[in-house]
Structure 1
Amino acid sequence: MSQGPTSARGTKGASASGPGQADVVRIPRPAGGPGRGGPFAGMNVPAEKAMNFAGSAKRLLGTLRPERLWLVLVLAMAVAGVVLQVIGPRLLGEGTNLIFSGVVSKQLPPGMTQAQLIAALRAAGDNQKADMLSAMTLTPGAGIDFGALANVLTWALVLYVLGSAFMWGQAYVLNGVVQRTVFGLREQIEAKINRLPLRYFDSIQRGELLSRVTNDVDNISQSLQQSISQAVTSVLTVLGVLVMMFILSPTLALIALVTIPLTLGITALIAKRSQKLFVQQWKNTGELNGQIEETYTGHALVKVFGRQREVGERFRQKNAELYEASFGAQFISGLIMPAMTFIGNLVYVGIAVVGGLQVASGAMQLGDVQAFIQYSRQFTQPLAQLGSMANLLQSGVASAERVFELLDTEEQSADPVGAALQSPDGAARGRLVFEDVSFSYSPDKPLIHGLSLVAEPGQTVAIVGPTGAGKTTLVNLMMRFYELDGGRITLDGVDITTMSRHDLRSRMGMVLQDTWLFGGTIRDNIAYGRPAASSSEVLEAARATYVDRFVRSLPEGYDTVLDDEGSNVSAGEKQLLTIARAFLASPSVLILDEATSSVDTRTEVLVQKAMSALRSDRTSFVIAHRLSTIRDADLILVMEAGQIVEQGTHASLLAAGGAYARLYEAQFAAPVAEV
C-alpha cells in the first residue's frame, strides 16, 4: 500500500497499550538524507563533529561518581600493592649485597679487619679498590651469610605475594565498579530511547543507533576497565619508584627523570594525530552496521532486483573506509609503546654506565645499582603503559561522545504531572473530536491546516485519499506520536495533551499494514496486546480473528516459536496475528491502517466480520486504499493535501460525483487499451 507521509514503525501491528513501549514512527526525510531509498540508497550521513576530548573524558569519569567510595577502596589497595612491590627491589638489592660481600670476604685473608684491609690497599696505592671495598660490609675470611640471605629473600617473597594480592583485590573491586557504571549507562540509554521524539529515529539509521547502544557501550566498558586500572597503578608506581631512586642515588634519579618530558611530548604528539582517526573509526563502524542492517533486512528485495553486486560494492567501500580509519588509528597510536621502549633502553644504558662508575668509586654498592636498574625498568614501564593507554582512552572517549550525544538529544515533552485519562462522567466511550487542528513536519511545508471532525462512539470512520494526503498523519496525531502546531484533539471531552501518553494509548489499539512480531511463541505474540489475559481469552481472540484455523495446523500449535521477523508464517498470517493482538487489547478506539492488505479475499471477508464485532461499541478509524473494504463505514473522510475535501457515506459520496467518486471509478473502472 502506498501510504501517506508517515508509516508507523515500532508499534507495528500491536495495540498501543502497555508502558515502556518506544514510540517509533518513520517521518519524511529530505532528499538524499540518511536511510532514504531502502537497501539501494546512498549513506549520506552528516559529518562527525569535532571531538571534545577533554569535556567528554571529564563527563565519562563523572559517571563513576556514584561509585566513589569503592574507588577510594580501589585507590587504597592500589597504594598498598604498589608500596609493597616497590620495596621488593630494595630487598633484593640487599640480598645481592650479602652475596657479593660474602664472595669478596671469602677471598680476603682472615684475621684482618675491613679497616685494616682498606688501609693496606691505600698504602699500596690501590685507591680505586679501596674505595669500592669501603662501600661494602666485609668480614675477611668469612663466606656468604646464608641465614641473613634467607631472611631477606623471605621478606621479599612475602612483600611480593601481599603486593600481588592487593593488586588482584583492586582489580576485582574496580571490575565491579566499571560494570555497575556501564549497567547504569545502559539503563539511561534504554530510558532515554523511550523518551525520545519520533523525529530522532528518522534522523538516524537503525544500525547506527544499535552500534551506539552496543558497540560503543562495550568499548566504553573495556576502556574504563583497562585505563583506570593502568592509570592508577602506573602513576603510583612512577611516584613510588621515583622516591626509592632518589633515596638510592639522586644522580641516577635525575637521569631517569629525563624520560618524563620526552614521554609526555611524544604521547601528546601522537595522540593529537590519532584522535581524529579514532572518532572516524567509530563513526564508520556505525555507518557500516547501518548498511548491513538495512541490506539484510531487505535481502529479498536485493535479490529480486538483482542488486547484489551494487550492495556488495557499497559494503566493500564502507568496509574499506572502516579498515583505513581503524588501521590508521591503531598504527599511529601504536607508535607510543615502541617510542617509550626506546627511551627506556636509553635510560637503562645510561644508568648501567653511570652506576658502574659509582660502584667502582665506592659511591654505591653493587646491590644498590642492581635495585636501581630494576627501578628504572619499573619507572619506564608504567610510563610506556600510560603512553599506550592513550589509544585505548581515545577510543573509549570517542565512543563516549557518541553515547553522550544520544543522551543529550532533546526529548519529547513531558506528560503533565498527575495526568490521567478520565472522561467527564467517568465513562470510557471513545468520542474523538478534532478542533481546528494544524500540523506540519517542517515549518515551510504545512500539511494539515484547520482540520475539524467529530467521531462518535461506536462509529466507523474511514479515511481515504491519494498518497501523501495526510491519512496516516491524522492517526499519528491521535496517538500523540507528534504534537500539534495548532488546535486540539479531545477524547471523551478531555484534551489529549493533558493526559499521560500511557493512559491515552492504553485506550487505543492500532493495527498497521507493516506487521511486527517478536521472537517468541504465537501465544506470547497475541498476549502482547494484554499481558494479563488468560489462556482462554487469548484463544477466544484467536478464534474471533480466524487465527485459530491456521495455528491448529502447526505441529506445536500456539507454542510455535516465531523468529523476530516471523519468517515461518506467511504475510497474511502475520497480519491476522496482529489483528488478534488488537482484539485481545479491547481498546475503546481502534485504528486500522490498511490492516487487511496482506490477506486473501476469502480471509478478508472473514476478518471483516471479525472487525465488525471488534468495532462494536468503540470508535474505529480505518485507513484504506481498497474502497471495497469501507463501503459499510458510518462516515468516509476524503483527504487531499491535509484537508478533508469530502465526507459522508459511500452512497452519498458516489452520488455527489466528487473526489471520492473519481477515486472509486479509477479503482474499479476497467481500463481501455488499444491492441
Structure 2
Amino acid sequence: MKSFELIKPYFIERRPDLIWGIAALLVVDAFQLFIPRIIKWAVDDISAMNITPAGLLTYALYILGAALMIGCFRYLWRVLIFGASRRIEEGIREKMFRHVQLMPATYFETFTAGDIMAHATNDLKNIRMASGMGLVALTDTIVLGFASIFFMGYINVNLTLMALIPMPFIAFFTKIFSKKLFAEYMTVQAGFSDLMELVRERFSGIKIIKAFNRENFESDSFCRGSESYVSKNMSLVKYTGLIFPMMIFLTNISLAIVIFIGGRQVITMTISPGDFVAFISYLGLLTWPMMAIGWVTNMIQRGMASVQRIEKILAHEPEIRNSDNALVPKKIFGEIRVDELSFNYKNKERQIPVLERISFFLNPGETLGIAGPPGSGKTTLVSLLPRIFDAATGGITIDGMGIKEIDLELLRRAISFMPQEPFLFSGTIRDNLIYGDPGAGEERLIKSIEMARLTETIASFPDGLETVIGEKGVYLSGGQKQRLALARTFLKDSPIVILDDPVSQVDMETAMAISETIRSLKGHKTIIIVSHRFSVFKHAEKIIVLKDGIISESGRHDELVESGGYYADAYEMQVTEERIG
C-alpha cells in the first residue's frame, strides 16, 4: 500500500514496542477466551447439582485471577502500542516540520499557514489513531474473532454456522462504505484546513478588524465557514452513523438466532447449559471484533486520507537546495557581482516580471544603496542574495563563486539580513537579539544594542533584556521593533550586511544616528541598504535606482542629486519636508 510508505520507517523504528505490545494484547485475548470456559464448567456443575461452596469459590477465584491478568497486560499493551503510535506521530510531525522549513517563500503562496497547521494537528491525530487503536482493533478482529468462532465451533458447529449468517452482510457493507468514507474524510479534512486558515488570518489581523469596526462582519464570516465545515461533517456522519448501529443490529440477529436455536438444543439436551452459556459468552466476545470491523474501516480510511494529504506536502521538493558538490570556502570576504539578473514571480496563470537585466559590482567593504518607488523590485533584489528566492536567468557571485554553488548554510551564515518587515518571536528581548548568534557574548550584545540606538529603550523596561515582548513584539512600538531587528542583524558577525528599509519607522534624529553607525561599518563589511530616506546613501560608494524592475539611474549620491532624475526629485522633497518639520 503506497500510503503505508510514509509511516513504514517509523513502524520499523518502534517495532520492539509494537511486537511486545501485540504480545501483551494476545495474552489479554487468551485470558478473555478462557473465562467462558470457566463459566461453562461452573454452570454445568451447578446444573448437575455437583458442586460445593468451595468449588464455586475456586471458579470465582479463577475468573478473578484472569481479570487481574487481563488488567495488567491491558495496561502493558496500552503503554506500548499507544506509546509507539505517539512516537510515530512525533516522527512524522518532525519530518513534516523540517520539510516545510526547506521550502522556498513561493511555497507558502500555495499552502496557507492554516492548511499546514491543520496537517500538523488533525491529520497527524488521524494517523496516530490508525496506527495505534487501529492496530489494536485489527488484531482483535483477527485473533479474538477467529478464536471465538473456533471455540463456538468446538461447542456446536451447526449453531456456529447459523450464528455467522450475518457475517457476509458485514463484509458487503464494509466494502461499500470504505470508498464513501475515504472521499468524505478528504472533504472534511480539507474543510478543517480552510477553517484553520480563516481563524488564523482573523486573529492575526485583529487590530485591523477593530480599527474598521468589522467584528460583526468577521463573526458572520466565521459562522459561514463553521457552518460549511459542520455541513461537510454531517455528510460524513450519514455514513459513519450507519456503521455502528448496523454492526449492533447484525450482532443482535446472531444473538437472536443463538437464543432460539441454542435454547431448543439445551431443551433437547443436544448441548449442555454450560455450553449454551459459554457459547453466548463467545458470541459476546465476537461482538467487539464485528463492531471493530466498522471501527477499523473508519479509522483506516481517515488515516489514509490524512497520509495522502501529508504526502501531498512532502511531495514538493525544495526548489532551493545545495548542489551536489557545494563549495565550502574557508572564508567569505564579501565581493558581490550581479550580472544580467532577471526574476519573475509565478502565480497559477502566468509569470509576473519583477526584475530585468540587473547588473552591479561591489568590492569587499563597499556600500550599495538601492532606491526607487514602491513596487520597483528592491526587496525582491536583496532577497535573491541569501537565496530566499532563486533567479531564473543571470547570475550572482560572491568572491567569484556562484551563490547556487556555495553551501546554502554557509551562504546564509555569511549574510546578516534585516527584512523590510521585521519579525519578532514571542520571547524576551534577549532571545530575539541572539537569535542569529546564540553564542554571542554579553559585550557584543551590548555593542549591538548601542549600534541600533536601543540602549535607553531597554533601560526603560523594568526587566531589561529579559522583558517579554509578546507575539510579534506586540508590546513594542513600530520603531522599537525595527531597532530590535536592526540590533539582531548587527549582532550577527557576517561579512555581508543587507538592510531593507532600516530607518523607516524611527524619527529623524535616530535615523541619522543609525546612518552614522552603518557608515562606521564601511571598509569592514559589504553593505547593501534599501531605503526611502536617501540621506542614508550619502556615504555609499554606489547607488542604483530601480524603476519598473530595471536600473534607471546609478552613481554616487552627489551625482544623482545633480542628474535631475527620480532620485534628485525625491531627495529634494525629503529635504523640504525635513526643513518644514
Counterpart of 2:341 in structure 1 is: 437
- Change over 3 Å in CA distance of 1:328–1:445 after alignment to 2: closer
Query: Whole-Å Cα distance in 2 between the matches of residues 380 and 527 of structure 1?
Result: 60
**Deviation, structure 1 residue 334:** 2.4
Unpaired runs of at least 5, structure 2: none
The answer to whether the 8 Å contact 1:330/1:391 transfers is no
- Change over 3 Å in CA distance of 1:395–1:544 after alignment to 2: same
The answer to whether the 8 Å contact 2:453/2:514 transfers is yes
Amino acid at match of 1:309: N
**Deviation, structure 1 residue 146:** 4.2
Which residue, out of 34, 47, 62, partners 1:100? 47
SS in 2 for 1:236: helix
Query: Whole-Å Cα distance in 2 between the matches of residues 58 and 496 of structure 1?
Result: 35
Amino acid at match of 2:47: F
SS in 2 for 1:513: coil
Unpaired runs of at least 5, structure 1: 1-53, 103-142, 671-675
Say whether residues 1:382 and 2:289 are aligned partners. Answer: yes
- Change over 3 Å in CA distance of 1:293–1:70 after alignment to 2: same
SS in 2 for 1:462: strand
Range moving further from structure 2, 586-595 or 459-468: 459-468
Query: Whole-Å Cα distance in 1 between the matches of residues 430 and 19 of structure 2?
Result: 51
Say whether residues 1:299 and 2:209 are aligned partners. Answer: no
The answer to whether the 8 Å contact 2:499/2:528 transfers is yes
- Residues 261-280 of structure 1: matches in 2 within 5 Å? 261-280=168-187
Counterpart of 2:24 in structure 1 is: 77
**Deviation, structure 1 residue 346:** 1.4
Query: Whole-Å Cα distance in 2 between the matches of residues 584 and 60 of structure 1?
Result: 42
Say whether residues 1:400 and 2:268 are aligned partners. Answer: no
- Residues 30-429 of structure 1: matches in 2 within 5 Å? 55-56=2-3, 59-60=6-7, 63-102=10-49, 144-417=51-324, 419-422=326-329, 428-429=332-333
Cα-to-partner distance string for 1:301-320 (whole Å, 9 max, x where unaligned): 12222322332222111111
The structure having more radius of gyration, on CA atoms, is: 1
**Deviation, structure 1 residue 577:** 0.7
TM-score (norm 1): 0.80
Cα-to-partner distance string for 1:630-671 (whole Å, 9 max, x where unaligned): 23322110112322122101221232223433544676679x
Counterpart of 1:38 in structure 2 is: none
Query: Whole-Å Cα distance in 2 between the matches of residues 411 and 200 of structure 1?
Result: 9
SS in 1 for 2:436: coil
**Deviation, structure 1 residue 572:** 0.4
The answer to whether the 8 Å contact 1:271/1:333 transfers is no
Cα-to-partner distance string for 1:479-504 (whole Å, 9 max, x where unaligned): 11222322321112222111111111
Cα-to-partner distance string for 1:432-454 (whole Å, 9 max, x where unaligned): 00122232223744433332210
Amino acid at match of 1:624: S
Amino acid at match of 2:254: V
- Change over 3 Å in CA distance of 1:72–1:529 after alignment to 2: closer
Which residue, out of 355, 376, 383, partners 1:476? 383
**Deviation, structure 1 residue 174:** 0.6
Amino acid at match of 2:493: S
**Deviation, structure 1 residue 58:** 6.5
More helix by share: 2
Range moving further from structure 2, 299-308 or 552-561: 299-308
- Change over 3 Å in CA distance of 1:553–1:58 after alignment to 2: closer
SS in 1 for 2:404: helix
The answer to whether the 8 Å contact 1:93/1:367 transfers is yes
**Deviation, structure 1 residue 427:** 5.5
SS in 2 for 1:411: coil
> Which structure carries more relative contact order (alpha carbon 8 Å, separation 6+)?
1
**Deviation, structure 1 residue 615:** 4.2
Query: Whole-Å Cα distance in 1 between the matches of residues 35 and 132 of structure 2?
Result: 27
Aligned residues: 574
**Deviation, structure 1 residue 353:** 1.0
Range moving further from structure 2, 580-589 or 161-170: 161-170
The answer to whether the 8 Å contact 1:284/1:322 transfers is yes
TM-score (norm 2): 0.93
Query: Whole-Å Cα distance in 2 between the matches of residues 151 and 569 of structure 1?
Result: 75
Counterpart of 2:552 in structure 1 is: 645
Cα-to-partner distance string for 1:323-373 (whole Å, 9 max, x where unaligned): 112233234202211111111111111101111111122210011011111
SS in 2 for 1:454: strand
How large is the RMSD of aligned CA atoms in angstroms?
2.3
- Residues 444-455 of structure 1: matches in 2 within 5 Å? 444-455=351-362
Query: Whole-Å Cα distance in 2 between the matches of residues 527 and 414 of structure 1?
Result: 26
Query: Whole-Å Cα distance in 2 between the matches of residues 392 and 166 of structure 1?
Result: 24
The answer to whether the 8 Å contact 2:499/2:529 transfers is yes
- Change over 3 Å in CA distance of 1:242–1:164 after alignment to 2: farther
The answer to whether the 8 Å contact 2:244/2:294 transfers is yes
Query: Whole-Å Cα distance in 1 between the matches of residues 113 and 344 of structure 2?
Result: 24
Query: Whole-Å Cα distance in 2 between the matches of residues 571 and 548 of structure 1?
Result: 16
Which residue, out of 556, 573, 587, partners 2:463? 556
